[in-house]
């Protein structure tokens, strides 16, 4: 180098110095897009990418629209394809990191300035940790921007690496994106499974790149994938999250566990059961719905509460309109994870005060669970309003309410809004209040109450409104809230407990089966008003029959010292009302019979729904077609069975069995040769296979084959195979002898012959 530093060589050296960058960016001539796309492992990449894209598409669908996301995906794919010939794996990984950092910076700069002031590095890290420990992406207020900011990195990275044929690295990048959504709980079971199978396929097909290796190993790959699918659908090692085994167990969740666990989200599930255990007792001047929480973001299949809870700091704002004060003391009978109280709580006292948090929708939440026997007092300011107040409330909603409580997934079908408008029209409703009453009435009168329903696919509200005949409170509440939102009326789903069994003048016993979900509708000047579209008579009948059933069965925890002894009769009024004299939700005077709006749909009078018996099956009448999941699952098992059969040589055995017994005739020489092959196969099974270096004669001598038929076939074979000499007669003779020998060696058939 030193000797060549000067002179004419200096020019070429200088040209080599910037070469590093130039080399980095020089296109790789050997690489071709067409070839890269034709690799079978691309299928795995596509599956894996589809799995986490599905989550992101769902997120953006719920909170805004998918248009921006789709555009972003297209741009990333195009840029990746354009760059792929110029980068190696290391550059691609570095680029991925850069894109990720850039995306996150973009996200934080998109947060409104007022909130950004609060954000420092600690907050960023805490958010990240929260996401990784199960915080759903939906709970981020700027979920759409987050999705747009985070997506490009894994997509860009895994796409580049896949194009370069680095499938294990590509699967690692894509898999970490999917892993993030598994940890946040946003990737459902099928999504996760699709992604994992995709990653496995990408690695397997990518590593078995020469097609010959793939042809030799396909059964192993299929078997491993089948085991992945079957094991993950039947065994769960990671409890919790959305990604629970598809086929695991028969245990239905309890209504209470599903609805009032007071988590940050409520997933709408299928069949559900009731727990008759006593949860808490309430001492209160007035009865009402013991409210636990509310949810603002509807994802189509679940409800999510966005925003963060804050610590309780001594007092809470009263509702905007008139209100009366109600004092309650709640005593836990079993461990409580929530803090039920009448709406709207303004003050908490007792031991739990310090552990109390206020959620983003001003509900109460206990940081630690409340042990049995422990009690706390809540002061609530219960809104007081008249029907006229509500009717005249107008639509002048505050901006925060509009932003938060009117959103619907982009994919919500238009027919929901159209049907809601029709219902309102039929009821001559002109005000939000009129619409709310009409919808409540409509749902109450057209749907039956049943705990045993199958979780519909897609948008639950749409399915309940148009396809299902029966459901329980979550379905009613969800549907009503969504319907109201289509009309521009702010509504949310609230969860909690119904009053329960009244055991004294001011005392109620509340059981697990009192768990309930209802709707809160916002009215300016008044605040949130409760509507309950669930048919109360049917619901209570169901609850009561469950309680008496539990009592008969002697289940523990069904009664406290005072409940069930008939000390106080009657049991609570069918529909609890928020205000005395303001019979707002149950009055049908203003609403005509709406049942006929549901064209051709079976209408159920409230009295009809009492036929339900817990644990019974409502829909065992029609033989239902298998769901796509079941069909896919069946196909996977079938494919796995085929692969396993091949692994243990079942296919060759089957082939041999048929091959040994069925000989199609062609030309005489081939016939004789085939006849001998059959005989030799038989002999091989009975004695030993002919060694490759053994001649036919030597083999027959070695195994002492004395059967004249064997010798005949062998002689005919040698003449045909080496002498090229065989006629029809010889072929007949050989085939007949082979048939006879095969028949004689078949244990059962041979005897039948």
Q: Which residues bind another protein (CB under 8 A)?
A: 692-698, 718-719, 721-725
Question: In the complex with another protein, which residue's Cβ is closer, 457 or 691?
Answer: 691
Separation CA 389–CA 317 (nearest Å): 21
Q: How far is the CB of 697 from another protein (least distance, A)?
A: 5
693 versus 706: smaller Cβ distance to another protein: 693
Decide if 327 contacts 542 (C-beta within 8 A): no
Q: Toward another protein, which CB reaches closer, 714 or 731?
A: 714
* Residue with smaller CB distance to another protein, 387 or 719: 719
Closer residue to another protein (CB): 647 or 691: 691
Q: Closer to another protein at the Cβ: 86 or 721?
A: 721
Query: Minimum distance between the CB of residue 715 and another protein, rounded to whole angstroms?
Result: 10
Distances in Å between the alpha carbon of 64 and those of 111, 230, 335, 611? 16, 36, 39, 42
* Pick 20 or 722: Cβ nearer another protein: 722
In angstroms, the CA 296 to CA 528 distance is 13
Radius of gyration of the chain (CA): 36
Judge contact between 496 and 339, C-beta under 8 A: no
**Most distant pair of Cα atoms in the chain: their distance:** 112
Helix ranges (DSSP H) in 208-362: 211-234, 255-259
Token pair in block for residue 658: 């048929």
- Tell me how far, at minimum, the Cβ of 705 lies from another protein, in Å: 15
366: helix, coil or strand? Answer: strand
Please, what is the minimum distance in Å from the beta carbon of residue 690 to another protein? 9
Q: Cα(596)–Cα(414) distance, rounded to whole angstroms?
A: 20
| Residues 6+ away with beta carbon under 8 Å from 332 | 279, 280, 370, 371, 372, 373, 374, 375
DSSP string, 260-280: SS--SEEE--SS-B----EEE
Cβ at position 669, least distance to another protein in Å:
10
Instruction: State the minimum distance, in angstroms, from the CB of residue 666 to another protein.
Output: 18
Smallest separation (angstroms) from another protein to the CB of 693: 5
The rounded distance, in Å, linking the Cα atoms of 278 and 556 is 9
| Residue 692 Cβ vs another protein, minimum distance, rounded to whole Å | 3
∠ at Cα 149 (146, 152), nearest 5°? Answer: 135
Pair of tokens at residue 744: 């004689």
Q: Please state the closest distance from residue 727 (CB atom) to another protein, in A.
A: 15
In the complex with another protein, the residue whose CB is nearer, 616 or 697, is 697
Give CA separation, 340 vs 320, 348, 540, in Å: 22, 11, 20
Q: Residue 132 or residue 698: which is nearer to another protein going by CB?
A: 698
Q: Is the dihedral of CA 586, 591, 592, 593 positive or negative?
A: negative
Cα–Cα distance measured from residue 750 to residue 744, given in angstroms and rounded to the nearest whole number? 5
The string over 60-76, giving b where at least 16 C-beta atoms fall within 10 Å of a residue's C-beta and e elsewhere, is: bbbbbebeebeebbeeb
Cβ closest to another protein, residue 458 vs residue 697: 697
Closest to another protein by CB, 20 vs 704, is 704
CA distance 718 to 695: 10
State the nearest-atom distance from the C-beta of 695 to another protein, in Å.
Answer: 4
* Alpha carbons 753 and 744: distance in angstroms, whole number: 9
Question: At closest approach, how far in Å is the CB of 737 from another protein?
Answer: 20
Nearer to another protein, 355 or 670 (CB): 670
Asked if residues 668 and 735 have their Cβ atoms less than 8 Å apart, the reply is no
Give the shortest CB-745-to-another protein separation in angstroms. Answer: 25
Stated as kind and residue range, the H or E segment containing 566 is none
């Amino acid at each position: 180098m030193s000797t060549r530093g000067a002179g004419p060589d200096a020019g070429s050296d200088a040209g080599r110095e910037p070469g590093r960058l130039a080399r980095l960016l020089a296109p790789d001539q050997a690489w071709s897009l067409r070839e890269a796309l034709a690799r079978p492992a691309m299928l795995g990449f596509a599956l894996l990418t589809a799995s986490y894209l599905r989550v992101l598409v769902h997120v953006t669908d719920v909170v805004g629209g998918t248009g921006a996301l789709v555009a972003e995906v297209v741009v990333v794919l195009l840029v990746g394809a354009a760059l792929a010939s110029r980068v190696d794996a290391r550059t691609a990984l570095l680029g991925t990191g850069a894109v990720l950092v850039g995306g996150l910076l973009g996200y934080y700069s998109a947060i409104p300035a007022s909130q950004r002031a609060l954000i420092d590095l600690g907050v960023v890290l805490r958010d990240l940790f929260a996401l990784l420990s199960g915080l759903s992406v939906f709970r981020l207020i700027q979920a759409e921007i987050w999705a747009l900011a985070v997506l490009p990195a894994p997509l860009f990275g895994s796409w580049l690496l896949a194009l370069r044929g680095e499938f294990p690295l590509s699967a690692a990048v894509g898999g970490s994106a999917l892993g993030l959504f598994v940890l946040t709980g946003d990737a459902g079971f099928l999504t996760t499974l699709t992604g994992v199978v995709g990653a496995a396929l990408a690695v397997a097909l990518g590593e078995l790149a020469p097609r010959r290796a793939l042809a030799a190993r396909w059964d192993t790959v299929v078997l491993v994938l089948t085991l992945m699918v079957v094991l993950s659908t039947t065994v769960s090692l990671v409890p919790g999250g959305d990604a629970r085994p598809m086929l695991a167990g028969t245990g239905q969740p309890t209504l209470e566990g599903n609805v009032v666990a007071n988590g940050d989200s409520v997933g709408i599930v299928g069949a559900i059961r009731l727990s008759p255990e006593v949860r808490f007792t309430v001492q209160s001047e007035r009865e009402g719905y013991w409210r636990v929480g509310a949810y603002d973001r509807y994802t189509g299949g679940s409800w999510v509460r966005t925003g963060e809870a804050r610590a309780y700091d001594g007092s809470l704002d009263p509702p905007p309109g008139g209100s009366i004060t109600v004092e309650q003391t709640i005593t836990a009978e079993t461990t409580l994870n929530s803090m039920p109280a009448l709406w709207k709580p303004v003050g908490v006292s007792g031991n739990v005060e310090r552990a109390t948090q206020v959620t983003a929708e001003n509900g109460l939440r206990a940081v630690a669970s409340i042990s049995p026997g422990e009690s706390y007092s809540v002061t609530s300011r219960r809104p007081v309003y008249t029907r006229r107040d509500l009717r005249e409330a107008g639509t002048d909603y505050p901006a925060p309410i509009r932003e938060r409580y009117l959103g619907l997934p982009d994919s919500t079908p238009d027919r929901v809004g159209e049907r809601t408008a029709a219902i309102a029209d039929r009821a001559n409703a002109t005000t939000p209040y009129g619409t709310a009453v009409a919808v409540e009435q409509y749902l109450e009168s057209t749907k039956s109450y049943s705990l045993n329903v199958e979780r519909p696919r897609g948008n639950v509200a749409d399915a309940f409104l148009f396809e299902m005949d029966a459901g329980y409170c979550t379905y009613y509440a969800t549907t009503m809230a969504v319907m109201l939102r289509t009309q521009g009326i702010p509504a949310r789903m609230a969860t909690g407990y119904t009053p329960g069994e009244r055991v004294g003048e001011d005392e109620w016993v509340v059981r697990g089966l009192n768990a309930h979900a209802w709707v809160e509708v916002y009215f300016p000047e008044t605040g949130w008003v409760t509507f309950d579209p669930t048919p109360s008579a049917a619901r209570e009948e169901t609850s009561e029959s469950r309680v008496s059933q539990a009592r008969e069965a002697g289940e523990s925890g069904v009664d406290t010292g005072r409940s069930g002894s008939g000390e106080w009769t009657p049991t609570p009024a069918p529909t609890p009302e928020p205000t005395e004299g303001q019979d707002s939700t149950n009055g049908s005077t203003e609403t005509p019979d709406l049942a006929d709006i549901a064209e051709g749909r079976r209408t159920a009078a409230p009295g009809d729904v009492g036929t339900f018996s817990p644990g019974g099956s409502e829909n065992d009448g029609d033989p239902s077609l298998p769901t796509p999941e079941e069909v896919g699952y069946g196909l996977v098992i079938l494919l796995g069975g085929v692969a396993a059969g091949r692994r243990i040589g079942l296919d060759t055995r089957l082939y041999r069995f048929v091959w040994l017994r069925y000989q199609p005739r062609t030309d005489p020489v081939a016939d004789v040769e085939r006849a001998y092959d059959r005989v030799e196969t038989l002999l091989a099974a009975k004695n030993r296979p002919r060694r490759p270096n053994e001649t036919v004669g030597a083999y027959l001598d070695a195994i002492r084959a004395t059967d004249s038929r064997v010798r005949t076939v062998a002689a005919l074979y040698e003449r045909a195979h080496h002498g090229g000499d065989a006629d029809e007669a010889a072929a007949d003779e050989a085939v007949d002898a082979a048939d006879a020998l095969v028949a004689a060696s078949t244990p059962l058939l041979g005897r039948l012959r």
